[in-house]
Amino acid sequence: MGTFSLEPEQLAWCGELRALAADRLAPLAEKGEPGRVNRPLVAELGQLGLLERLFTSGALDLCLLRESLARVSTEAETALALQGLGAHPIHAYGSTTVRERWIPEVAAGRAVAAFALSEPGAGSDAAALSLEARPGDDGDSWRLTGEKCWISNAPEADVYTVFARTTQGAGARGVTAFAVPADRPGLTGEHLDMISPHPIGTLAFDGVPVTRDDLLGEVDAGFRVAMGTLNLFRPSVGAFAVGMAQAALDAALAHTAEREAFGAPLKDLQTVAHQVADMSVRVESARLMVYAAAGAYDEGAPDVPRRAAAAKLIATETAQQVVDAAVQLHGARALRRGHVLEHLYREVRAPRIYEGASEVQRAIIARELYKGNKKETS
């Protein structure tokens, strides 16, 4: 890939993805129940081979995949992304046994995965996790006790990547990751009624048993598992946001070209034309930052945390602005239930919070900048 452009094959693939989303995925998405896992949609993602791409593609391909689906069906995009977020730690850090148990099932769309990091008292501050992993007498087992909250796909997932505290008082260095099947005794959960159309819930752990076979990575090294996963997925959250922003821009272009006011199409009003131009520039700028961050990840660049944070920050903030501007240009019709912009208006808010709120991304960017400046001046 060139610095500022995609190859013809990549552009063609994006077009194919949008066509698949329109023909095969969007109809299934429309039949789903808001706030619940849409298993037929997940199964179709598996049937089309898109879930398998989560485990064989680089960061840039993941971004192209998510952006393309988001332009047509945010439900399909989110269903795919949650499978990747929940199962990537299993694929990247799990034992052969746990990988063979879950990755083929997730890739086929037969099993639903979830990423269980946030807690009632530890959202943006992941190092403050309090879900406790109490060691068993044999030295090879633990009991998980505590709560998780704001977990996408909970409580309906089949397997959870769970982060628990194995060493008290150690902050980020005392957290361990486990793959926890949903049918483990002592694990329960409830749905949360959220504005987002995809499922979000809570999980309660009452002495849930896990063993060394369930470990993802090393004991007390779970924070590395979480950050490794988020560094991969943060640019693609930006890609999701860019896809939504592009869909809103497409809607605004079509509406302002057709809608007449004061005897002429809206596009002939300079204020409207300039606003649409600004929306386009913002979307393209965000897209380029997302692609650059993904390319840096694929190349193993040293500044991935900063670039991933910057990509997510600019893309999610841009999407909020562009969707809001598109709604304003449409007027009241955009807020009618079922309108594409009404849907995007509800969807676009959450990405500025999950996988690290915008404020957290700014903190990461600043930390990495000062770290780099210290190296240059020392």
Q: What digits encode the pLDDT tens for the residues 156-167? A: 999 999 999 999
Mean predicted lDDT score pLDDT of the chain: 93
339: which DSSP letter? -
Name the least confident of 86-90, 185-189, 208-212, 368-372. Answer: 368-372
What is the pLDDT, as a whole number, of residue 195?
A: 81
Task: State the DSSP string of 164-212.
Answer: EESSTT-GGGGEEEEEEETTSTTEEEEE---SSSS-EEEEEEEEEEEEG
Residue showing tokens 């999610």: 316
Does 209 have pLDDT greater than 50? yes
247-267 average pLDDT score:
93
The residues that bridge with 208 in the sheet, in sequence order, are 144
Does 337 have pLDDT greater than 80? yes
Q: What digits encode the pLDDT tens for the residues 236-248? A: 999 999 999 999 9
Name the least confident of 71-80, 97-106, 227-236. Answer: 227-236
Question: Which is higher by pLDDT, 113 or 5?
Answer: 113
Does 349 have pLDDT greater than 50? yes
What is the pLDDT, as a whole number, of residue 5?
A: 77
| Separate counts of helices (H) and strands (E) for the chain | 12, 10
> For 113-220, CATH number?
2.40.110.10
Split at pLDDT 50, 70, 90, the class of 86 is very high
What is the pLDDT, as a whole number, of residue 172?
A: 84
What is the pLDDT, as a whole number, of residue 223?
A: 92
Q: Please state, in angstroms and rounded to a whole number, the distance separating the CA atoms of residues 342 and 51.
A: 28
Split at pLDDT 50, 70, 90, the class of 1 is very low
Does 61 have pLDDT greater than 80? yes
Task: Give the domain ranges of the chain.
Answer: 8-108, 113-220, 224-377
316-333 average pLDDT score:
97
Q: Please state, in angstroms and rounded to a whole number, the distance separating the CA atoms of residues 81 and 66.
A: 7
Q: What digits encode the pLDDT tens for the residues 225-234? A: 998 998 888 8
Per the CB < 8 A criterion, the answer to whether 129 and 249 are in contact is: no
Split at pLDDT 50, 70, 90, the class of 2 is very low
What is the pLDDT, as a whole number, of residue 197?
A: 75
- The residue annotated as part of the active site, out of 355, 359, 368, 376, is 355
Within 8 A by CB and 6+ apart from 222, the residues are: 163, 164, 166, 175, 176, 177, 216
Task: State the DSSP string of 229-291.
Answer: HHHHHHHHHHHHHHHHHHHHHHHHHHHHHH-EETTEEGGGSHHHHHHHHHHHHHHHHHHHHHH
Question: Would you call 159 helix, strand, or coil by DSSP?
Answer: strand
Does 178 have pLDDT greater than 60? yes
360-371 average pLDDT score:
94
Split at pLDDT 50, 70, 90, the class of 372 is confident
Q: What digits encode the pLDDT tens for the residues 115-147? A: 999 999 877 676 789 999 999 888 889 999 999
- The CATH architecture to which 224-377 belongs is Up-down Bundle (1.20)
What is the pLDDT, as a whole number, of residue 266?
A: 92
Does 47 have pLDDT greater than 60? yes
11-29 average pLDDT score:
97
Question: Would you call 113 helix, strand, or coil by DSSP?
Answer: strand
Q: Please state, in angstroms and rounded to a whole number, the distance separating the CA atoms of residues 117 and 128.
A: 11
% of the chain residues with pLDDT over 70 = 97
Q: Please state, in angstroms and rounded to a whole number, the distance separating the CA atoms of residues 214 and 94.
A: 7
Residue showing tokens 């965000």: 286
Does 52 have pLDDT greater than 90? yes
244-257 average pLDDT score:
97
355 counts as catalytic: yes
What is the pLDDT, as a whole number, of residue 310?
A: 96
What is the pLDDT, as a whole number, of residue 124?
A: 67
Does 198 have pLDDT greater than 90? no
What is the pLDDT, as a whole number, of residue 163?
A: 96
Q: Please state, in angstroms and rounded to a whole number, the distance separating the CA atoms of residues 215 and 201.
A: 23
> For 8-108, CATH number?
1.10.540.10
